[in-house]
Amino acid sequence: MYKMDELIAGFTGQMKRAVAIGESAKLKKPKAPIRNILLTGLGGSGIGGTIISNILRDDLKVPVVINKCYHIPNFVNENTLVIATSYSGNTEETMSALMQAFQKDAHLVCITSGGLVKEFAKIHDIDFIEIDGGMPPRACFALSFIQLLYVFHQLSLIEDGFKLSLSNTIQRLDGEQEDIKTNAKKLAEKLFGTIPVIYADSNFEGVAIRFRQQINENAKMLCWHHVIPEMNHNELVGWRQHNDDISVIFLRNNNDFDRNQERIEFSKGVIRNYTSRINEIYSKGDTDIERSLYLIHLCDWVSYFLSELNEVDAIEIEVINSLKGKLAENPL
């Protein structure tokens, strides 16, 4: 039986394993030029697509669309790269999207540990990268996320600079693990008993979503997130009532766009009138890959320490399993 703290502690080991898998993967070249990309997947399997679309915004020369439902956009055709990610291989929304993309003759790549996705890929001669299975999908972020980088590289959509970023991240996280855990535990203690509100620069929204999801699943808590500058055009006005039961966390990077840094400082001043619980986490690293992975790892620890404070099992997701069981009674 896996324990969430052991899985989080093994993050860099998982990164090394993911690199080994990515290096050995062999993918077919597309028959037609890739003019757009669709990344389809949900939950712990799909969040990597959201994050990589943020990270590679300045590198990719074709548009990326994130899909988190049963149906795919109408633009998908033979010029579309569709990457379907399902850790279990049995996510029904992802299978539905995959089958539709196959019918539209898109160039398909699957990332999975097995299940129906792997079976479908083998039957139809679709490229798939098989990752290690048997763990909670949200605890296997590195396995699936890093494969996306290798897929883009093999299909000549990005250069190989990401490999150095991964190596640097492993070295940093291994060297600073105890400090990361200490800082995470301190933040968890500040968030305990409150409703967390997560804010980040819009280029790091995927990281903010990941943090929110980890708090939801691991700590069994509700929270919400928003991004700068969009929240300055709506949510900022909602701060009107004093409530110290709300804790705000700003995920920050030293290289965030200067106008957004000004917006964050102004927003902090407004929010401080209504809650004294304002926290900031700064990333570390020289690239967006390094900065994102640092924040993800630290925030994963925060969610685990919150689960301990809440006296809940970080692994347990019975309500989600119940929903899947109910849907299975009447399959697609």
**Radius of gyration, alpha carbons of the chain:** 20
Q: What are phi and psi of 84, to 5 degrees?
A: -100, 120
52-98 pLDDT tens trace: 999 999 999 999 999 999 999 999 999 999 999 999 999 999 999 99
Q: CA quadruple 303, 304, 308, 313: dihedral positive or negative? A: positive
Residues 6+ apart with CB under 8 A from 255: none
**Look-up: residue for tokens 């860099």?**
12
Point out the residues that are catalytic: 217, 233, 324
Q: Omega of the bond prior to 63 within 30 degrees of 0, cis?
A: no
Q: Which two tokens stand for residue 36?
A: 């757009």
First to last CA, the chain: 31
pLDDT of residue 330: 86
Q: What's the pLDDT at 10? A: 97
Q: Please, what are the domains in the chain? A: 4-160 (3.40.50.10490), 166-310 (3.40.50.10490)
Tokens, residue 326: 């109910």
> What's phi and psi for 83, nearest 5 deg?
-110, 115
pLDDT at 223: 97
Nearest CA to 64 among 143, 142, 151?
151
Q: Write the pLDDT tens digit of every residue in 142-166.
A: 999 999 999 999 999 999 999 999 9
